[in-house]
Chain A
Amino acid sequence: MSIAGQAVTIAAFQSPLLNSPLAIVVVLSLVVGLVMVVVFGYTSDQKAIGVAKDQLKAHLLAVRLYRDQIPVVMGSYGKILRGTGRYLKLAFKPLLYVIIPITLLIAQIDRYLGQAPIPVNAPFLLTVQLDGNAGLNDVTLGLPPEITITAPPVHIPAAHEIVWRLAGSKEGKYEVKVAAAGQSATKCVCVGGDLPRLSIVRLRGRFWRRMFSSAEPALPENSPMESISINYQDRNIEIAGYGMNWIWLFFILSMIVGFIFKELLGIQI
């Protein structure tokens, strides 16, 4: 995501009007629904999509109209499958135009809305994965005074992992220092707060996974550590007593918004 885009995202999240996850998702769905429909309209072959959809509907109607004629029914079913392929092919090109910005946007939004920060005094797990078992027993943890170890570490040689159970006594953003094989790295831990930007994992290399899962710089290439992760809990947005992940809500709302705008703007999707 561009620096400007990231700045907009951050600014939006710092706005006092948007300090509720539900409000953020609603506004985001409105904006994305409108923009995506417009972009789709401009970048697609609207006439061809309209024809492809009409043909699909026609073949569906044919199945109903000629239901006593099995060869016609089966033939229409075949045409529906072919027509669906043609329609998806036509929808693919405009989707390519929107898929990059929307993917990056969702990845960024997910840093804020995907997980909740660790509650104060609640236990959480910090997992360090090494690139081998050598030195697994020598990994040490440097903690700020607000973070304490609540149980001895667990070593999992099969996964080259060592896991600590920790707890934070005060709301804030802290740096946990991990040392292994003479090298050290830090991992950000968020305790308490409304909508902090969370990074569930700090990774070495793995560009694509970092892009979508991490909000921290990569671990050094020569570090023995593959990853340092925190088990933040998934955040649910409550609607009518039912909690759901933000992306579900975004999916539903942006679809509704998109449907409304496509009708208003006369755009075929």
Chain B
Amino acid sequence: MKRSCGADTLVRLLAIKSRRRCGRPSAPRERMHFAGKSARATRVLLIAIIFLPALAHAYAGPGAGFAVLSSFWAIFVAFLYSFYALMTWPFRQLFRFIRRRNAYGKATFERAVILGFDGMDPDLADRFMNEGRLPNLAKLRDKGTFSKLRTTFPAISPVAWSTFMTGVNPGKHNIYDFLARDTSNYLPFLSSAEIKGPKRHIKIGKYSIPFGKTQIKGMRKGTPFWHWLGNAGIFSSVIRVPVTFPPEKFQGVLLSGMCVPDLKGSQGTFCLCTTRASGDKFREGGVRVPIERKNGVCHSYIPGPDSPLAEKAGTELRVNFEIRPEPGLKSARFVVGSEKFALKVGEYSEWIPAEFKAGLGFTAHGICRFYLKELSPEVEIYVTPVNIDPGHPDLPISHPVTYSIYLAKLFGSYATLGLAEDTWALNEHVLDDDAFLAQAYGNHEDRERMLFDALDKTKQGLCTCVFDTTDRVQHMFWRYLEEDHPAARDVPHSQHPPVIQELYECMDRLIGRVMEKIDDDTLLMVISDHGFKSFARCLNLNAWLHQNGYLTLKDGKTESGDWFEDVDWSRTRAYTMGLNGLYLNIKGREKQGIVDAVEVEALKAELQQKLNGLVDPASGAVGITGVFIADNVYRGPYTENSPDLIVGYGAGYRASWDSVMGKVTGQVFEDNIKAWSGDHCIDPRLVPGVLFSSHKFIAEKPAIVDVAPTILKLFGLALPAHFDGKPWTLAAKAH
């Protein structure tokens, strides 16, 4: 007798375990007694159903189908990948041999690990080491190298890290600040990358459908040293090094860092959802969104990017969400799209997906975190800037594109925004100290996980990771290091929390864990791009230029708006925007330039002479300790894009918030009362970075520009002729 149905085929396909019984001639007579033995019978029934071969009972609906198919698919694809990798590996090695690329033949080390601690200050590190707070960094100091590391002009992260990776001065990599100015309209633009939407649109009804790809152009020039390593067959893992957006192709993996925009295209726009009525706008970095209460349920939204389908610019996409306060008003339940979660007051959510739907299938994928600030009497929720979803990146944020996805799958979502720690929210008192630190250290933990994964995966080659926590926390908490910082005068000195000490101790513990992972064939370097100093007083250079006749406002005006609103360009010879650059209004270069070419050098010298040593009348301290003529500090093909003069502020001083934004105010000097209380955008000679290494280097006045040539030399590669840095000499390598 033929046994029934094709289900047996499925049994064979799907129920691996049931094979054990397939083909058995006849089952023994089963005698089941159900009465009074229901529990046992249920167990037996389950087992019997699973293992008996008759019919299609191995297929228990789509759940089983998906489970089995997914597993089979995963194993099958993995097998194919592995097989391909194994089979082609000898050929790839042979290929390299034929091309005479014995990658590690001349290498002094199998692996180099470079940890970038953005803004770690050598003086503070020295002080804390001497106090015994940093045992692991002290070990590196005693065994290897500890030195100050000369930074760039100016001492700004995108500039210094660009020099770090390319081994050249800014005149060759074209990054002089976060911002550059458009000479046609005196407005700023992001110096590192340019993002343009598709040029063509097709209009269908109410929609204007973009046709073509978004153009992302990297503005940083020069070749990162991991490209040279890759060309020689040396693999690199590069994590969150600033100014690596858009990511470039090379042999290795890279996750872009500082300068990656948020989903709105800004460098970070937080959102404060609140029931409090307020017409105030945040100075920068955030928006206020109303919460509407109805029947005990609160409704609000997350503002997103502009709709790509809207005819008019500025049609914002939104993700609505709902808040249901719990009885007692100490926690609330949130519904954001399909996500539901609960938060207590003072608690952050995980990263929550936010899908901004524009219609016609256009969706922008973002992630954000919610922080429940208050539930009574008012409701206030802080929402982080909407980061590009690393698991579903709408813009490339890694090389290969799958690397960001890999990290998201392995560890969960993580911050992708370049400036991920929301300093503006703390400046604007939207977040308090604790909430900011929780956010910063949350990002830091994610970064640590990425680093240790990269260390596990990169046993040979280069592994480099930059940590921003050091920079952001020092910016925001320097006020507690000093006795009389204007931003902390309301807190008695005895109550100043030791935030920065704890930060350095945290970084030291990280070093300790990294040291456990490496052997003597690995070079460990810890570097920072610059150091740190107090930012207690603001200096509005535009105000000084105005008061001294170099910048003129339109008739009747005593102050300007942002970005030189009400500046009379026809009577303006110099202006400043950004952190350290001073520009002349040169005829033929600026659209409304008035300074003749023959006057330029004299004007530069005049400004240099007048500004150098500028004294703060309130304290008698020197506000500007150096003014540097760009022609003297930069060389290369992109010097024409540099500011004309670089202003080096004295310790305790920095360009005022207004001056940075091209605003002319009445006062030249004023107190800085913002939480952003420490800075490094001053005279670069005052804020060198640090250099620690596990092996001793002999170098006179090492500089960040030397790192790239040093690494190439240690891997036995020839140095490109255009490098400005000089490689350090390794004292000895103990075996």
User: Which residues of A are at the interface with B, using a C-beta cutoff of 8 A?
Assistant: 32-33, 36-37, 39-40, 51, 53-74, 76-77, 80-81, 83-84, 87-88, 91, 94-96, 98-100, 102-103, 106-107, 110, 114-115, 125, 127, 200-201, 205-209, 212-213, 229, 231-232, 234, 244-245, 247-248, 251, 254-255, 257-259, 262, 266, 269
Contacts A61-B405, A65-B403 given: A206-B27 contact, CB under 8 Å?
Answer: yes
Assuming the contacts A64-B402, A72-B457, A99-B49, asked whether A56 and B74 have C-beta atoms less than 8 A apart, the reply is yes
Residues in A with CB closer than 8 Å to B63 are 36-37, 39-40, 91, 94-95, 98, 258, 269
A212 touches B54 (CB 8 A): yes
Does B31 lie within 8 Å of A106, measured CB to CB? no
- B56 at the binding interface (Cβ < 8 Å): yes
Counting chain A CB atoms within 10 Å of each CB, the highest count among B7, B61, B402 belongs to B61
Contact between chains at B61 and A114 (CB < 8 Å): no
State whether A208 touches B71 (Cβ < 8 A). no
Residue of B nearest to A91 (CB): B67
A-contacting residues of B (Cβ < 8 Å)?
1-7, 9-10, 27, 29-32, 45-46, 48-50, 52, 54-57, 59-67, 69-71, 74-75, 77-79, 81-82, 84-86, 89, 92, 235, 253, 338, 400, 402-403, 405-410, 412, 456-460
- Contact between B66 and A208 (Cβ–Cβ < 8 Å)? no
Find out whether the CB atom of A259 lies under 8 angstroms from the CB atom of B62: yes
The reply to whether B457 and A37 contact each other, CB–CB distance below 8 Å, is no
CB of B61 within 8 A of CB of A248, answer no
Q: Which single residue of chain A is at the shortest CB-CB distance from B79?
A: A77
A5–B262 alpha-carbon span in the complex (Å): 54
Q: Which residue of A lies closest to B5 (CB)?
A: A114
Q: Are A201 and B52 also in contact (CB < 8 A) when A60-B81, A87-B71, A99-B46 are?
A: no
The complex places the Cα of A163 from the Cα of B564 at a distance, in Å, of 104
Pick the contact of A99: B10, B50, B85 (CB < 8 A): B50
Q: Choose one: A33, A40, A110, A254; the contact of B4 (CB below 8 Å).
A: A110
Question: In the complex, which residues of chain B have a beta carbon less than 8 angstroms from the beta carbon of A96?
Answer: 46
- What residues of A have a CB within 8 angstroms of the CB of B253 in the complex? 65
Q: Which residues of A contact B3 (CB under 8 A)?
A: 213
8 A-B pairs with the lowest CB-CB distances in the bound complex, closest first = A258-B62, A245-B6, A36-B61, A58-B409, A103-B57, A58-B410, A91-B67, A61-B406
Q: Are A68 and B235 in contact (CB under 8 A)?
A: yes
Q: Shortest Cβ distance from B306 into chain A, in angstroms?
A: 27
Q: Which residues of B contact A115 (CB under 8 A)?
A: 4-5
The CA-CA distance from A223 to B6 in the complex, in Å, is 31
Residues of the A chain whose Cβ atoms lie less than 8 Å from the Cβ of B89:
68, 70
Cross-chain contact B400 with A251 (CB below 8 angstroms): no
Chain B nearest CB: distance from A202 CB in Å? Answer: 12
* Residues B70 and A87 in contact, CB atoms below 8 Å apart: yes
Chain B residues contacting A98 (CB-CB under 8 Å) are 60-61, 63-64
Q: Choose among A32, A205, A213 the residue that contacts B55 (Cβ–Cβ < 8 A).
A: A213
The CA-CA distance from A151 to B257 in the complex, in Å, is 85
Sample of 5 A–B contacts (CB below 8 Å): A60-B78, A99-B57, A110-B4, A234-B6, A251-B10
CB within 8 Å for A68 and B50 given contacts A95-B64, A115-B4, A231-B1: no
Whether the Cβ atoms of B402 and A206 lie closer than 8 Å is no
* Residues of chain B with a CB closer than 8 A to A200's CB: 1, 4
- Give bound CA distance, A107 to B56, whole Å: 8
In the bound complex, residues from chain A placing their C-beta under 8 Å from that of B459 are 69, 71-72
A32 pairs with B61, CB closer than 8 A = yes
CB distance from A231 to the nearest CB of B (A): 6
Q: Which residue among A32, A33, A67, A213 has the maximum number of chain B CB atoms within 10 Å of its CB?
A: A67
Known: A102-B57, A213-B54. 9 other contacts (CB 8 A): A74-B82, A81-B75, A91-B63, A99-B57, A110-B55, A115-B5, A213-B4, A234-B5, A251-B65
Provided the pairs A95-B60, A254-B65 are in contact, do residues A60 and B55 lie with their beta carbons within 8 angstroms?
A: no
| A251 closest partner in B (C-beta) | B59
CA distance A124 to B680 in the complex (A): 94
- A87-B70, A201-B1 given as contacts; is B409 within 8 A of A61 (CB)? yes
Residues on the B chain within 8 Å of A88, using CB: 67, 71
Most chain A beta carbons < 10 A, residue from B2, B60, B63, B77: B63
A62 engages B457 (CB within 8 Å): yes
Cβ of A114: which chain B residues have Cβ within 8 Å of it?
Answer: 4-5, 7
Name which residue of chain A comes closest to B89, CB basis. A70
**Which residues on the B side are within 8 Å of A257 (C-beta)?**
62
Q: Are B74 and A269 in contact (CB under 8 A)?
A: no
Q: Are A63 and B85 in contact (CB under 8 A)?
A: yes
Known A-B contacts A55-B409, A103-B49, A247-B5; A254 and B62 likewise in contact (beta carbons under 8 Å): yes
Task: Please judge, given known A-B contacts A115-B4, A206-B27, whether A57 and B66 are in contact too, CB under 8 Å.
Answer: no
Give the chain A neighbours of B457 by CB distance below 8 A.
62, 65-66, 69, 72
Residue of B nearest to A83 (CB): B74
CA distance in complex: A81, B66 (Å): 17
Residues of B within 8 A of A95 (CB): 60, 63-64, 67
CA distance A51 to B460 in the complex (A): 30
Distance between A151 CB and nearest chain B CB, rounded to angstroms: 17
Select from chain A the residue with minimum beta-carbon distance to B61: A36
User: Chain A residues with Cβ under 8 A from B45's Cβ?
Assistant: 100
Contact B75 A248 (CB under 8 A): no
Closest to A232 in B: B4
Interfacial chain A residues near B57, Cβ < 8 Å: 99, 102-103, 106-107, 212
Closest to A252 in B: B65
Pair A100/B49 contact, Cβ less than 8 Å: yes
Report the nearest A residue to B93, measured CB to CB.
A68
Q: Which residue of B lies closest to A64 (CB)?
A: B81
Residues in B neighbouring A72, C-beta threshold 8 A = 456-457, 459
List chain B residues, Cβ under 8 A from A207: 30-32
With a cutoff of 8 Å between Cβ atoms, the chain A residues found around residue B402 in the complex are 61, 64-65
Of all chain A residues, which has the CB nearest B63? Answer: A40
Give Cα distance in the complex from A14 to B27, angstroms: 34
Q: Chain B residues with Cβ under 8 A from A77's Cβ?
A: 78-79, 82
B409: contacting residue among A57, A94, A209, A266, CB under 8 A = A57
Collect the chain A residues with CB atoms within 8 Å of residue B65's CB. 251, 254-255, 258
B62 touches A67 (CB 8 A): no
Smallest beta-carbon distance B537→chain A, Å: 49
Tell me the minimal C-beta distance from B256 to chain A in angstroms. 16
A80 to B27, CA, bound (A): 37
From B410, which residue of chain A is reached at the shortest CB distance? A58
- Quick one: given A67-B85, A258-B63, are A234 and B55 in contact (CB under 8 Å)? no
Contacts of A37 in B (CB 8 A): 62-63
CA distance A58 to B82 in the complex (A): 14
A63 to nearest B CB, angstroms? 4
Q: How far is the CA of A250 from the CA of B402 in the complex (A)?
A: 35
In the complex, how many angstroms separate the beta carbon of B134 from the nearest chain A beta carbon?
A: 33
Q: Contacts of A57 on B, CB cut-off 8 Å?
A: 74, 405, 409
Chain B residue with Cβ nearest A267: B63
Known: A100-B49, A248-B6, A266-B338. A73 touches B86 (CB 8 A): yes
How far does the alpha carbon of A110 sit from the alpha carbon of B56 in the complex, in Å?
9
Chain A residue at smallest Cβ distance from B52: A208
Measured in the bound complex, the distance between the Cα atoms of B169 and A168 in whole Å is: 98
A33 — which chain B residues lie within 8 A by C-beta? 61-62
Residue numbers in B under 8 Å from A209 (CB-CB): 27, 54
Contact B31 A205 (CB under 8 A): yes
Beta-carbon nearest neighbor of B233 in chain A:
A68
A268: nearest chain-B partner, CB-CB: B66
Residue of A at shortest CB range from B405?
A: A61
User: Which residues on B sit within 8 Å (CB–CB) of A71?
Assistant: 459
Q: Is the CB of B235 within 8 A of A69?
A: yes
Whether B54 pairs with A208 at a CB distance below 8 angstroms is yes
- Smallest distance from the beta carbon of A228 to chain B beta carbons, Å? 10
Within 8 Å CB of B78, what residues of A?
Answer: 59-60, 63, 76-77, 80
Distance, CA A125 to CA B408, complexed state (A): 62
Q: Is the CB of B2 within 8 A of A231?
A: yes
**Contact, CB under 8 Å: A70 / B61:** no
Q: How far is the CA of A176 from the CA of B399 in the complex (A)?
A: 74
CA separation between A98 and B78, bound complex, in Å? 30
Q: Is B7 a contact of A110 with CB atoms below 8 Å? A: yes
